[in-house]
Amino acid sequence: MKTIESINAVLNKKNATNGWDVLVAYDSTRVNKILSRQYQKKMADGYYYPPFSHTNTVYGLQFKNIIVGAPKISFENANLDDSAALVRLEFISGDVIRIDADGQVLQWDRISPGNNYAMEIRVELKYGNGSVSEDDEIAIHFDQGTLLDIRGLNKLPNEILAVFRNYLRENAMKYSLGRLKQDETSHQLYPREFIVRTQRHPDASSRAAPYNTDGAVLLFISTNHEGKGSYPTNDQPWVIPHDKSAAMLISDRVLFGPLLAWQFVGQVKDLAWSTPYSPEGRRMLQFTQGYVPTTDVIKGSYRGPGFHGMMWSSDASQNERPARLSMADFQLGKGPDNKTIIGRFSQQTFTDIFTDSLAAEVKPITTVENVPFKRSGTYNARLSLDKDSNIVFNGSANFNLESTHSTWSLVTNSAKEKFIRQATDNLNKGGIFQLGDIKTFYLRNVLFPDRDVLSFSDVALPGDLVMYGEVTESMTSINVTAEKERIAAGQTLRFSASLPDGSVPGGLEWTVNGVGSIDDNGLYRAPALGKIAQAQNIIVTVKNAEGLTGSALITVLSSSLELLTAFITLPETHAPQPFQLHSTVTGTTGAIAWRLESNLEYPGTIDSTGLYTPPPEGRYAEGFNVVMAIATLPSGEEQKAIICLKEKSTQRAFRAEPAFHPRIPANGVAGFSTRSRDFNANLWELFPQVGSLSEPMSIKDGDVTVWSSNFHAPGDCAQARVVLVNMTEKDKPWHGGYGLVELMP
């Protein structure tokens, strides 16, 4: 776990800006929120990927009405050599059907969220040529990415991947992750060039999913101070604490250069400065010339045996002027506590001009003296953030002044004290100062979609100046949150709203774009069980009387219990290879109870995880025989999968036409036929017994007999399911075939 303290400890030893002026980092959680909100807008505008359907008979695969959800970025394969990341476009609904050479169904998977079906695309975070003109955007173009795989389908051949690639190209989508804006006329710190890199979280490999995909987007920025550095290496420090989503670093070269030097221009006259390295390898601000004047002319009298006189600060022509505390060789650097700046004189001696008027008994003498002085003491400034997130330094000097000059040493102490007191007081007039350019920079020049902004709550000075905080919703938006990202039909979900300052707005109006309803208190009610047939994304929006808005995206599943595989055929030649039935449970607790239903003597077995083991070879009954695998929740809700066991001597004598009927509604009719020259398809049965079949009919078509029957869907169907229509020859079960019907609620 990366804390502010542990990150500061690393940054004490290693620079993270790599010679660039600014580093902005924001993590994958925030990136995915940015992507999600853009997805919501595209959905609301009707501008998103259409359903994907495709059939490939060579490889026996059909994809039907695949709906793609919001993109999610992953940094599991990120490295600092480029700006690449992995994006998953999850499939939230649709069907993947495996077919044989005759188009007959071998397996039917009904996709829902949580099944981990997704397009995995390697994308580059595009950022033009890295030169900031009017504005430059960091963007993801999915049509320009590299489709690596379809997760969940075990390394599809290139021929099928090419179809998905064409789908991405034909439906080009762009997502923005932020942009840099040129605004050089408004303030003194603005971006000119930048590069983008992606970084995997250093602890990702040892973390449990989904945190093993964590990482960050890094923007290395050159400003008008021309800090164009090198590319990061593999030992680039991680700079985002576990409880924050963003960090921004200002290089020590810029901080201990123009940003701090500007703060002293008003107090230190004729200031010139440089930024050398300290012995520890850190930048520091060194004044090469300049002075702090006293408020008054410094005058002091002196007296000795037989003489007395007066000294006053002057120019070389003996004209009175305030005294000057030289600030040449004054060095400012970081303190040991990561919160302070400490200033000291590297060379303690300097001279200032004083006129010495000696009233001797013999003859008065007036001379101009370059009086040598020795400076000592420190300047200390403590770093903090004020209530408006401005970087504030509260600093003061405590200097001493000595001189061994023969005459000055005789001057009254009041004059000596006045010199150092007034000079120090004048330096301390700028004791509390803000680095306003930094806040202006990240608010005006580092921009995010939907007017999101950088907001910081902690600041430290381990070397570079580092600010820790968030990419947060702007003051013109409402933050909408929910406890879950997914709920199921028949369930409720409470949404809450807050302003960026954490307060709860009043007078809210809630609306929902999609299925279900929401009340005035933000309580969302999903449709009742049986009212939706597949998972759907919905957008909940809130608005207050001032016109501020916010939204959130959730997925509503058709049932709290869903099985991925609705149907599968297991030939005896493959027995006894087990088959895993995958389940998804949403919004409820308690273990799933699995059981089998069949009239077979040897139906196989199923364990508590849904792992089905077919009967051993030689125990298959003749024909196509059905085993129902049933998963049940403690609430009584259940789902069924059809397992069709094909005995090895059984022939597929009857090829169903069509092989399946998708999306048959209540009271709908689905007709099947089959053609055979040698066999009679005179026995038709349903598994499970849902709906009804008409009596099979036969007609002659030359020397071929065409058998047909109509399936009649029931008047009420609580949830989507698959029904098998089994065709056999009476008393000859080894002559068989089947078709499938997808019933919709």
3-state per-residue secondary structure call for 291-342? EEECCCCCEEEEEECCEEEEEEEECCCCCECCCEEECCCEEEEECCCCCEEE
Would you say how long the chain is, in residues? 745
Higher pLDDT, 246 or 45: 246
pLDDT score of 328 more than 60 = yes
What is the band of 128 on the pLDDT scale with cuts at 50, 70, 90? Answer: low
What per-residue string of b and e applies to 358-395 under the rule 16 or more CB within 10 Å gives b?
Answer: beeeeeeeeeebebebebebebbbbbebeeebbbbbeb
Read off the pLDDT of residues 625-679 as tens digits, 9 standing for 90 and up.
Answer: 999 999 999 999 999 999 999 999 999 999 999 999 999 999 999 999 999 999 9
CA 152 to chain centre: 23
The pLDDT score that the predictor gives to residue 187 is 58
Cβ(85)–Cβ(123) below 8 Å:
yes
Contacts of 263 (CB under 8 A, 6+ apart): 393, 430, 433, 435
pLDDT score of 367 more than 90 = yes
pLDDT score of 209 more than 70 = no
The pLDDT score that the predictor gives to residue 705 is 96
From 290-294, 451-455, 655-659, the region with the lowest mean pLDDT:
451-455
Read off the pLDDT of residues 548-591 as tens digits, 9 standing for 90 and up.
Answer: 888 999 999 999 999 999 999 999 986 678 999 999 999 888 89
Which helix (H) or strand (E) element contains residue 738?
strand 732-743
Read off the pLDDT of residues 46-61 as tens digits, 9 standing for 90 and up.
Answer: 888 999 999 999 999 9
Cβ(461)–Cβ(334) below 8 Å:
yes
Strands (E), 483-574: 486-488, 492-498, 509-513, 517-518, 523-525, 536-543, 549-557, 561-563, 565-571
Question: What DSSP letter does each residue of 401-415 carry, written as one string?
Answer: EE---TTGGGS-HHH
Pairing between β-strand 549-557 and β-strand 486-488 as defined by DSSP bridges: parallel
Which tokens sit at 310? 């007066």
The pLDDT score that the predictor gives to residue 186 is 53
Question: What DSSP letter does each residue of 625-637 carry, written as one string?
Answer: EEEEEEEE-TTS-
Level-2 CATH architecture, domain 651-745: Sandwich (2.60)
The pLDDT score that the predictor gives to residue 133 is 60
CA distances from 577 to 89, 596, 640 (A): 32, 17, 21
Mean of the pLDDT values across residues 388-404?
91
Give start-end residues of each CATH 2.60.40.1080 domain in the chain. 479-557
Residue with tokens 């009649």, as numbered in its chain: 712
Which tokens sit at 614? 């077919």
Give start-end residues of each CATH 2.60.40.10 domain in the chain. 651-745
The pLDDT score that the predictor gives to residue 475 is 65
From 16-25, 177-186, 232-241, 277-286, the region with the lowest mean pLDDT:
177-186
Read off the pLDDT of residues 297-317 as tens digits, 9 standing for 90 and up.
Answer: 999 999 888 789 999 999 999
Contacts of 5 (CB under 8 A, 6+ apart): none
* Phi–psi pair at 125, nearest 5 degrees: -75, 105
Which helix (H) or strand (E) element contains residue 218?
strand 215-223
What is the band of 1 on the pLDDT scale with cuts at 50, 70, 90? Answer: confident
Give the number of other CB atoms < 10 A from CB of residue 650.
22
Average pLDDT in the chain: 91
Read off the pLDDT of residues 408-426 as tens digits, 9 standing for 90 and up.
Answer: 999 999 999 999 999 999 9
Q: Does domain 479-557 have CATH number 2.60.40.1080?
A: yes
pLDDT score of 341 more than 80 = yes
The pLDDT score that the predictor gives to residue 438 is 87
CA distances from 76 to 68, 85, 191, 226, 245 (A): 22, 8, 30, 33, 18
What is the band of 130 on the pLDDT scale with cuts at 50, 70, 90? Answer: low
Give the number of other CB atoms < 10 A from CB of residue 68.
24
Helix/strand/coil for 726 = strand
Mean of the pLDDT values across residues 121-142?
76
The pLDDT score that the predictor gives to residue 88 is 92
